[in-house]
Structure 1
Amino acid sequence: MKILSILCFLLIPGLVLAQHGSLKGRLTTGSEPLSFATVTLSGTAIGVTTNDKGYYYLKNVPAGTYTVVFSNIGYVTERYNVSVKPGEATLLNGNLKESSSKLNEVTVTGVSRKTELRSNPIPIAVMTRKEMDQNVNNNIIDAIVKGVPGVNAVTTGPNISKPFIRGLGYNRVLTLYDGVRQEGQQWGDEHGIEIDQYGIGRAEVVKGPASLTYGSDALAGVINMIPYLLAGENRVLKGDYTADYHTNNGMIGTSLGLSYRKDDWRYAFRATAKAAHDYQNSIDGYVYNTGFREFNLSGMARVDKKWGYSQIAATVYDNRQEIPDGSRDSLTRQFTRQVAESSTDNIRNRPVVSNDELRSYTITPLHQRIQHYRVYANNEFKLGEGSSINASLGLQQSIRREYNHPTQANQPGLYVVLNTLNYDVKYNLPTIAGIESTLGLNGMYQTNRSKAATDFPIPDYNLFDAGTFFFAKKTIGKVDISGGIRYDNRQINWHDFYVGPNPKNGFEQHVILPDTAGAHLQFPAFKHVYQGVSGSLGITYNISERLLLKANIARGYRAPNITEIGSNGLDPGAHIVYLGNRGFNPEFSLQEDVGFIAYLKDVDLIAELFNNHINNYIYQAKLTDVNGNPVVIVPGNSTYQYQQSSARLYGAEFTLNMHPQNIKWLAFNNSLAYVTGINGNKQLIDESDGAAKYLPFIPPLHIRSEFKVSLQKAYGAFSKIYFKAEMDAYTTQNRYYALDNTETATPGYALFNLGAGSTIKNKADRTICELFLQVDNLFDKAYQSNLNRLKYFEYYQSSPNGHLGIYNIGRNVSFKLVFPF
């Protein structure tokens, strides 16, 4: 009996294994292997990714019939039925076709759980690393502007771009890095996004006040930058090296990324450096003080277990950015530089900048230095029955110094340190009656402190932000319904802030009680609580697998930012004195969105319409005296005062992408974006004879077309070869905020671009590098974007050549090489 028991014990594993088989094969795209694609058995938890040669192997698969799903972002998903026989290895190969369709791409921005774009009623666009590589630019925001209709940017030279979505920007667009909100003094005109452009693998853009997850500051939408993580085999070091060069401003970019996986652990590291001298155009020549030098470091460690995952990551950003002011010689229009302090400076007697200085990579004494440090942790804990907890905690420090004193180059005019603690907890409840729901709590604690500065545009303040939300979604037949509600509470306060003379340098300094003799109270103490309720409700009607109708209505909320309520001083980098208003109320919006999506065999068609009413809309306008003359508080700098009124913004975005299946090498992509912003202050409009009818910073009609040829065969070492020609056109903007010359009309223009790229492989079929070539503004068109702040950097009423202000960048040829290893 004992012997029989032992035999049974020995035979049972063999009998069990005999009921299992395996599945293996290779995935390709055309004749190329498809690395790190996903292979899953539908309805099971069994899955694997292909290796760098495209091969996969599923072991110990229970015998039976399955639907095998081959998928990868940017490719058409394929499904095959296969029978796995006991004790046998079944062979199944797949060939995926590239696709511009993103209908089933998974997104997590603005919603609670992973949700496919097709079922999400909120207007969301996704941009992949491949698309960003092909939209070569000086910064990540400009690449997104090229790829997502309805997104624009306010710019201050090539390396400073602030995102605008459907005519709304500044603190109304919430930028995230790996799901953690970016905090870096984003209230300023010349304050860009502190993110490594080479380290982003994917960008998700929410359009409109529909992001229940983040609350205030997401009134216009959300841009989530997701870091790029190299995929690799277990215990194999993977990496890539990027080299980037731009001819216009001599920009040199270089980036090294490393990735290593050891069983359940993954590690990643990236180091990036960028440097550029002044950019040029056919009107201004080289534009003085537009160069920059930027460094980035990032690292990540992550462990994946059955209980979920835990990740900790850190980033370091250090940018020295020159500060242009637009001063010139009145006759020759050559740029001049400031050598005296503003109290003794004479704009007409400044020395002319030499050609060597214009082409130098050396950062000039008048510049800003931005340092941003971030440490954060993302965690997920699986609780069973489909429920889970997601928890994030982040620490950020933003240090901003703006040097504007030519006689004391090491004395910053602005010196502020912003510390932020971000927290976010979500409980994904078990699915009940087909309803997926999430309950969440998130917010931040923030302190801002001025250091040894001479100018103080904002006070030292403390801010505590907390919000809770509930989100739910359900599918009923062909209809997907989702929505939720959120409550936010923001407390902000500061103490009396005194400014007095500094005998050591002759400027002003922050003076602390009780030592305030001879000082003046620049910011009286303030304390306020802002509250808001927001929410959204939307449906997606799946007319068919490829025809969708979407509708969403959302109420958004935004508390006034620090400069809108507290500013009272010069921002040296912007050359603007800002004046805030303590009595401002929060902004509330009500936006309706309707969209139609058709991903057909030969054509993709997307039509999105929106209508947005905003109460208590806050905007900045130039301040004038009773005689209509500009108010000058600090010589050489403009004065702007924030205003508040109701507003309405409405418009549409249309996308038409043609990719005929019988002409696989051809793609013709087109988009159109239009928005109009109307000021609701009828009294001001009447008093100004219509000059205040339109809101400031509204982009004109934007039309973009791309003709792309992708060769289907390899030619020697060259494969995945593409050529493209683009037209990027903006119509004349004659609907602008004209009161007191806050804005002026902007002529329309069309830019033409060319691009090409290829993957280069060796004889062993291993990728040596990816090559990208781009020519922007092919015909060297002289133009001014209406969202270019440098357009208004002008000291004279007229000029000998008939051109006022500074023009945008001229022709630029860029070369980019990515070497994977």
Structure 2
Amino acid sequence: MQRIYIILFFALAVTYGQSQNSLEGIVTDAETSQPLLGIQVYFPKLEKGSVSDEDGTFKIVGLPIGNYKLVVSSIGFQTYSETVTLAKGSNSLNVALSPSAIEMEEVIVSTPFHKLQRENVMKVERANVAELKTRGAVTLSDGITDVPGVESVSTGLGIGKPVIRGLSSNRVLVYTQGVRLENQQFGDEHGLGISDAGIESIEVIKGPASLLYGSDAMGGVLYLNPERFANAGETDADVNLSYFSNTRGFDGDVGIASSSEKFKFLVRGSAASHTDYETGGESVTNSRFREYDLKTGLGYQTTTLKTELRYNYNNLKLGIPEELGKRTSARTPESPYQQIDNHILSSKTSVFFDKSSLEATFGYTFNTRKEFEEGEDGAALDMDLVTFNYNLQYHLPKWGNLETIFGVQGMHQTNSNFGEELLIPDANTNDIGIMGTSHIHFKNDSDLQLGLRYDYRSIDGKASGPLGEEGAIEALNRDFNSFNAAVGYKKDFLENFTGRINLASGFRAPNLAELTSNGVHEGTNRYERGNSALTNEQNLQTDLSLEYGNEHIEVYINGFYNAVNNYIFIEPDGSTIGGNAVFSYRQQDADLYGGEIGLHIHPHPLDWLHVESSFESVTGKLADDGHLPLIPANTFSNTLRTEFSGSGSWLSSSYAFVTLKSVFKQDKVSGFETVTDGYSLLSLGVGGTVSVLDQEMKVRISGNNILDKDYFSHLSRLKTDGISNIGRNIHLGVSIPL
């Protein structure tokens, strides 16, 4: 027993000694040399930070020894990003920030080296969820459509899934809490199944990301960053409330986060309820939905160890809209409807050595999907999907300007059926991938990033039903594998120009629905027939981007060409079974190409004025010159935005915007799609931070489709039923820190 006490004593002594490593300093204005208050000072890799006080001073304790990226940022100033060498004991650093009208830069988490966007070789779009809320987004899938190059395939308001440059479903991977979100996303009418409450920001990789994430990331990645823990020694709490006029919808969430030097905790609960939405003049029967969501996290951190455990429970009850009707106040969906439960448990641990680190992420997801049909007792479709995934990455010691990561990723997944209907069979899926990637920074303001990866996937599906009959599924035992590589180069030139070129390959193994379907899919009203002989989709994409920015203007041009071998698609074969058209899965080479152009004017000294324009286009064609289905129409968006700060004792900041979004006619359609006419939507909003009885709160008012335009989105699955998209919708919101 005495030996145990001696060991514990020395362990505590070592921990105590290590905890004395710290960084302190002063943040000042580079033009006035005055100290700055409220500046964020943050180590992204360590997830530790502080905020400067009235004297501009900050102090961060409990830091490991080594070289780590430090980011110092605030709205109105150019973001400071440098690698800092931390030695044992007390370290000091003073930072002078230069004023800037450009929005505050954030660290990109979805790429492996955690750099600011301007430092990244790969172009990644980032959107703050709080900003999306100011625009009146009803759901997360609705909000992501504000990101250039990103759209959503929708079934009413409650069901939506991301489309990145024309690719969707299993070709776009969604990550949340650092793990892949698996929720039967193969189905057209299967949405994200996650609330925006407790999500801080969204990052979008537009293009093959198989090097980083393996199969199913050939079209891109939607990376959801959870809200951060509070800074050490602080406790934060807030409540957020919203009302939507069109659906008479309410949603609200409340959260609290508290941290000591070592322990961290947060919890956030939310609820949403919506009635049927109205088009330009009619109500869409059974488009109502409700959602409950709980997110919680627990963290522990010392100088050499950082670990966190997060859990998310999401419950959705979604009506399946089928017709137009009279407006009702009903909020409970009627048959047909979906009931979905998602449990996401994740752990992320980082161990810091003197010059290297090891990161281990594990995820467990339990998804239950039930679909109830009219006139039937119990769930006609009842599927459980259990997924365990892991991601181990070792960050090698930095060698000069070379950073290298080696990693192993994998997944074990089990699908089980309990209902009368089977869309996909009981099956086990196993993945394993090995990857390596390096980033080199050259002294001539250029960077090179490259990597290589090998993946293996096996699918073992069980037979179901008498062979030869409707709904019968043969046993399946298939293996898939692929090598993939990526190389990218970034160069800063002519002072304000940045150029990027990226060449990456990706792949996707066919999913269970594509391999085994044999029956009527009620969600699409067609008989679907799979093809067990399907092979890997393999693509190669080239991305080019050019950016220019100064204190008055920012311009970007992004272009891409995506060649996909053995693209899997579904099309009618001309026959019918039981009155339903038969759709069969086929493969053919395909090409997608297009890009985005953007302009942001913020004339100095009129820093409060912003003029933003963007144009996005994508074309998808098959080798036989036919067009791919569900390709977004060309879109041209223009926004006039104003921002003010310190404008009064009761109004500390304010903003206003007006946006005109013009969507062009989509006449490049597949053989079983129809042409969609163009339309223009006018939106506007105002908001700000106000003080009422010494209580600060953020208030926002916005209106979408202000002119109550009756229109069809080309990506709406209700278009074939003659059901328009949502009409005028006024959003009122308030956020109150407690």
TM-score, normalization: structure 1?
0.80
CA change 1:286–1:24 in 2 (3 A) is same
> Which residue identity is paired with 1:471?
T
What letter corresponds to residue 758 of structure 1 in structure 2? G
What is the aligned partner in structure 1 of residue 529 from structure 2? 579
Question: Which residue of the other structure, out of 586, 596, 602, is the alignment partner of 1:659?
Answer: 602
Residue 730 in structure 1 maps to residue 729 in structure 2: no
Match of 1:309 in 2: 306
Contact 2:240–2:253 (8 Å) recurs in 1: yes
3-state DSSP of counterpart to 1:143: helix
Of 371, 376, 381, the match for 2:351? 381
- Whole-angstrom distance in 2 between the partners of 1:97 and 1:433: 32
CA distance in 1, matches of 2:507, 2:71: 42
Q: Tell me the amino acid that sits aligned with residue 205 of structure 1.
A: V
> Which of 743, 746, 755 is equivalent to 2:685?
755
Distance of 2:220 and 2:27 partners within structure 1: 43
Separation in structure 1 between the aligned mates of residue 270 and residue 37 of structure 2, nearest angstrom: 28
Pairing 1:782–2:710 present: yes
Aligned to 1:117: 117
Alpha-carbon distance, 1:762 to partner: 5.0
Query: d(CA) in 2 for partners of 1:394 and 1:659?
Result: 43
Q: 1:195 to 1:546 in 2, by over 3 A?
A: farther
Q: Show structure 1 runs of 4+ deviating over 6 A.
A: 25-33, 51-54, 90-96, 518-521
SS at match of 1:145: helix
1:520 is displaced (CA, Å) by 7.5
Does the alignment pair 1:288 with 2:285?
yes
Q: Identify which of 627, 635, 654 aligns with 1:721.
A: 654
Q: 2:736 aligned with 1:808, yes or no?
A: no
Give the whole-Å Cα distance in 2 for the aligned partners of 1:22 and 1:187: 50
Q: How many Å separate the matches in 1 of 2:152 and 2:307?
A: 35
Residue 129 (structure 1) shift: 3.3
Number of the residue aligned with 2:399 = 432
**Structure 1 counterpart of 2:474:** 524
- Note closer, same or farther for the CA distance 1:521–1:49 as it changes in structure 2 (3 Å cut): closer
State yes or no: 1:323 paired with 2:273: no
1:670 aligns with 2:636: no
Find the aligned partners of 1:54 and 1:779 in 2 and give their Cα distance: 50
Asked if the contact 2:486–2:504 (Cα under 8 Å) also holds between the matched residues in 1, the reply is yes
- State the Cα distance separating 1:92 from its structure 2 match: 8.6
CA positional deviation for 1:599: 2.1
Give the number of the structure whose residues are more often strand, by fraction. 2
- Other-structure match for 1:132: 132
Pairing of 1:485-500 with structure 2 (within 5 A): 485-498=452-465
Hey, what does 1:340 align to over in structure 2?
Answer: none
CA distances 1:215-238 after superposition (whole Å, capped 9, x unpaired)? 11001101110111363561x432
Q: How does 1:77-116 map to 2 (within 5 A)?
A: 77=78, 99-101=101-103, 105-109=106-110, 111-116=111-116
The alpha-carbon distance between structure 1 residues 74 and 785, as it changes in their structure 2 partners (threshold 3 A), is farther
Q: Are the structure 2 counterparts of residues 361 and 521 from structure 1 closer, same or farther at C-alpha, using a change threshold of 3 Å?
A: closer
Asked whether 1:466 is paired with 2:432, we answer yes
How far the C-alpha of 1:562 sits from its partner, in A, is 1.2
Letter in 1 for 2:284: V
* Distance across 1 between alignment mates of 2:167 and 2:527: 22
Q: Give the Cα–Cα distance (whole angstroms) in 2 for the partners of residues 615 and 307 of structure 1.
A: 46
The 2-side partners of 1:23 and 1:748 are apart by: 56
8 Å contact kept, 2:50–2:232: no
Alignment partner of 1:414 is 2:390: no
- Return the letter of the residue paired with 1:131: E
SS in 2 for 1:497: coil
Partners of 1:531 and 1:91 lie apart in 2 by 49
Counterpart of 1:400 (choices 362, 369, 382) is 369
The one-letter code matched in structure 2 to 1:670 is S
- 1:194-205 to structure 2, matched below 5 A, reads 194-205=193-204
Q: Which has the larger radius of gyration?
A: 1
Partner of residue 547, structure 1:
497
Return the letter of the residue paired with 1:163: P
Is contact 1:73-1:105 (8 Å) kept?
no
Distance across 1 between alignment mates of 2:321 and 2:60: 62
1:140-539 aligned within 5 A = 140-146=140-146, 148-229=147-228, 231-232=230-231, 234=233, 236-283=234-281, 285-326=282-323, 335=325, 355=327, 358-385=328-355, 387-406=356-375, 408=376, 410-451=377-418, 453-477=419-443, 478-498=445-465, 522-539=472-489
Residues 444/320 of structure 1: CA separation in 2 closer, same or farther (3 Å cut): same
Letter in 1 for 2:616: A
Taking structure 1 as reference, are residues 39 and 458 closer, same or farther at Cα in structure 2, changes over 3 Å only?
Answer: closer
Contact 1:156 1:190 in 2 (8 A): yes
Which amino acid letter does the alignment assign opposite residue 780 of structure 1? D
Residue 365 (structure 1) shift: 3.5
* Deviates further, 216-225 or 112-121: 112-121
Q: Offset of 1:155 from its aligned partner?
A: 0.4
Amino acid in structure 1 at the alignment position of 2:685: G
Q: What is the alpha-carbon distance in structure 2 between the residues aligned to residue 533 and residue 318 of structure 1?
A: 38
Q: Output the amino acid matched with 1:746.
A: T
CA 1:716 to 1:428, structure 2 compared with 1: closer, same or farther past 3 Å?
Answer: same
Q: Which amino acid aligns with 1:463?
A: T
Instruction: Work out the CA distance in 2 between the residues paired with 1:288 and 1:54.
Output: 59
Structure-1 separation of matches of 2:37 and 2:229: 15
Q: 1:36 Cα shift?
A: 6.0
- Please give the residue correspondences for 1:582-731 in structure 2 after superposition, counting only pairs within 5 Å: 582-625=532-575, 631-633=576-578, 639-680=582-623, 682=624, 693-731=626-664
Are the equivalent residues in 1 in contact too, given 2:408–2:432 (CA < 8 A)? yes
Task: Tell me how far apart the structure 2 counterparts of residues 380 and 322 of structure 1 sit (CA, whole Å).
Answer: 42
Q: What's the CA shift for 1:159?
A: 1.6
Summarize the Cα distance change of 1:38–1:211 in structure 2 as closer, same or farther, 3 Å threshold. farther
| 1:261-314 deviation per Cα after TM superposition (whole angstroms, max 9, x unaligned) | 12211101010100001000125x110010001000111001121113001111
Amino acid at match of 2:115: T
Cα distance in 2, alignment partners of residues 671 and 421 from structure 1: 40
| Cα offset, 1:441, TM superposition | 0.7
Corresponding residue of 2:12: none
Aligned pairs, number: 697
Q: Is the 8 A contact 2:162 2:168 kept in 1?
A: yes
After superposition, the C-alpha distances for 1:371-400 in whole angstroms (9 at most, x for unaligned) are: 001111011111222x11110111111100
Post-superposition offset of 1:710: 1.3
**Is the alpha carbon distance of 1:523 and 1:425 closer, same or farther for their aligned partners in structure 2, counting shifts above 3 Å?**
same
> How far is the alpha carbon of 1:551 from its aligned partner?
0.4
Q: Determine if contact 1:434/1:475 at 8 Å carries over to the other structure.
A: yes
What CA distance in whole angstroms lies between the structure 2 residues aligned with 1:652 and 1:807? 28
More divergent stretch after superposition (205-214 vs 695-704): 205-214
Matched-pair contact (CA < 8 Å) for 2:27–2:39: no
Tell me whether 592-601 or 709-718 shows the greater mean CA deviation.
Answer: 709-718
Letter in 2 for 1:446: Q
Does the 8 A contact of 1:466 with 1:490 survive in 2?
yes
One-letter amino acid of the counterpart of residue 534, structure 1: N
Cα shift at 1:94: 7.3
How many percent of aligned residue pairs carry the same amino acid? 28
| Greater Cα offset, 605-614 or 714-723 | 714-723
SS, match of residue 212 in structure 2: coil
Q: Contact between 2:162 and 2:172, CA under 8 Å: does it hold in 1? A: yes
Deviations 1:146-183 (A, max 9, x none): 1x211111000112111011111111110000221000
Q: Which amino acid aligns with 1:322?
A: G
Q: Is the 8 A contact 1:27 1:55 kept in 2?
A: no
CA distance in structure 2 between the aligned counterparts of 1:466 and 1:91, rounded to whole angstroms: 43
Q: What is the match of residue 41 of structure 2?
A: 38
SS at match of 2:285: coil
List alignment gaps of at least 5 residues for structure 1: 1-19, 61-67, 81-89, 327-333, 336-353, 500-515, 626-630, 686-692, 794-804
Indicate if the aligned counterparts of 1:496 and 1:521 stay in contact, CA closer than 8 A.
no
Return closer, same or farther for 1:585/1:75 CA change in 2, 3 Å cut-off.
farther
SS in structure 1 of the partner of residue 465 of structure 2:
strand
* Deviation for aligned residue 1:718: 1.3
Contact 1:694 1:736 in 2 (8 A): yes
Counterparts of 1:553-572 in structure 2 under 5 Å? 553-572=503-522
